[in-house]
Structure 1
């Protein structure tokens, strides 16, 4: 199954969940506005790619889990863009949700996208234990022990000079855990033992770290047209970033070295289980800067 087919399954799962729901039309419009805003869909794609690398045939249930992850990510973007947070007018090249629908409805759309995913996973044709484990893992990656905590730490770090360890703690939670979840989820679905699940999760954490460093570099070097949002927002907000802390050149080296570590771990896992690391390595390499 190619990338387009995988992503089409995710889109279908999202459409099926919201398509026939009888709820406030304005809420549905706001939710779907952000869901349909585009983006790389890297998180759901990673989940399906890792499953396929583990020789698991992709089913609707897997696409539903991937779609649930994308809902959480999309909800976080709506809230991140609010005036009380990053205060951004554009996301993925068009008006942010609150600029289109107002702050109140944007907040509620984000709330819906944080809560709906668990119903979607519960409906999936997977074992009860797998669904419990997936719901627990997604909740921990998203809430007060994951993404939300990372956002709080990020806000509290504005205007401060953080060290590398503090910066990594912020982004391990704000960005890293939702990128690690696809790897952990694939391990749960495929029935790998706990140690291999942790090894997969660690690869996701490394990719999440590199993803954030790359995002920080692009915030400094890329244009609005290239990244689809206002550049240099972190600089204006006086946030600690990897280029600010390490320097631009060293931040690029740090990003690429982190990707090297992910590739080494992928090689290690491929020796332990029947795992086709090639497609995952391609994704890793796509994140490399100045490669």
Structure 2
């Protein structure tokens, strides 16, 4: 299995990651005064880590429809802040109780639980502030649509709702009533897929794409998000903590619903490949202009971290 991105995708990932990192460094508050520790915690959790796949989805989608890079990068930074907030809270003892994230101690271990809660809250609020700022897009209607889209992706019928279902699934599994495939797919479409779908569509929103083209990107991202989560389950089963920068095997050990647990390892790999092919096929209408998005779908299921 080739787990390295193609030269085209590698260059795009490198360029976007560097630009988003610089944007985040500028947008996140510099530690100063009585909130210095909070500022430090927000920066610790957000800077210098992750593959920035959601950011790449924003920028590649925006490029597809001619959106200015400056606006795409601001939206990408906002989504990365929101994603960082979700990881901070997921790692807390009352949630997944993890000690390692991106190869370093989780925020509540490096600081404390109160700092982690507040840093997550701060990042969530700052993400919406960035989207609502006229610097993101000159048109108020576009900014409003971005704010609405992120709120829906992150809220009770999106990421937060998926986390709630995930926690409840542990109790069901312990009672001998594990989730079936449709239920796990729904859980992950909310917990992981909703933010990925918004990231892909947000570039089209910035580029004022047609309703049909936006629907194509949403469908592409729905397949991509599910493939991404299946790949995560596979890595949790056969990867290593050194590769992933976090503990492995915890989900199965905790009785969480996973695709590997339901479909078996080979069945999960087959399903991930099917979803990737579907995602790539949805982009055919865009031809070579969607090459980065095409190759990203392949990378999602071949990565080792």
TM-score (norm 1): 0.93
Deviation digits for residues 198-241 of structure 1 (CA, Å, limit 9, x no counterpart): 22111111100000000000001001001110000101110110
Contact 2:193 2:221 in 1 (8 A): yes
Structure 1 unaligned blocks of 5 or more: none
Q: Which residue number in structure 2 is paired with residue 277 of structure 1?
A: 290
| Aligned residues: CA RMSD | 1.8
Q: Map 1:178-257; keep pairs closer than 5 Å.
A: 178-257=195-274
Q: Map 1:1-291; keep pairs closer than 5 Å.
A: 2-20=12-30, 24-59=35-70, 61-123=71-133, 124-126=135-137, 127-159=139-171, 160=173, 161-267=178-284, 269-270=285-286, 276-289=289-302
Other structure's SS at 1:276 match? helix
Deviation digits for residues 9-42 of structure 1 (CA, Å, limit 9, x no counterpart): 2122212222458660010011111112411011
- Post-superposition shift, 1:151? 0.2
Contact 2:61 2:202 in 1 (8 A): no
Greater mean alpha carbon deviation, residues 218-227 or residues 119-128: 119-128
Alpha-carbon distance between aligned partners in 1 of 2:244 and 2:301, rounded to the nearest angstrom: 16
Greater mean alpha carbon deviation, residues 67-76 or residues 48-57: 48-57
Alpha-carbon distance between aligned partners in 2 of 1:107 and 1:173, rounded to the nearest angstrom: 22
Alpha-carbon distance between aligned partners in 1 of 2:160 and 2:47, rounded to the nearest angstrom: 23
Alpha-carbon distance between aligned partners in 2 of 1:2 and 1:236, rounded to the nearest angstrom: 37
Alpha-carbon distance between aligned partners in 1 of 2:65 and 2:31, rounded to the nearest angstrom: 34
Other structure's SS at 1:277 match? helix
TM-score (norm 2): 0.89
Greater mean alpha carbon deviation, residues 23-32 or residues 89-98: 23-32
- Post-superposition shift, 1:64? 0.8
Alpha-carbon distance between aligned partners in 2 of 1:125 and 1:178, rounded to the nearest angstrom: 19
Structure 1 runs (4+) greater than 6 angstroms displaced = none
Contact 2:220 2:282 in 1 (8 A): yes
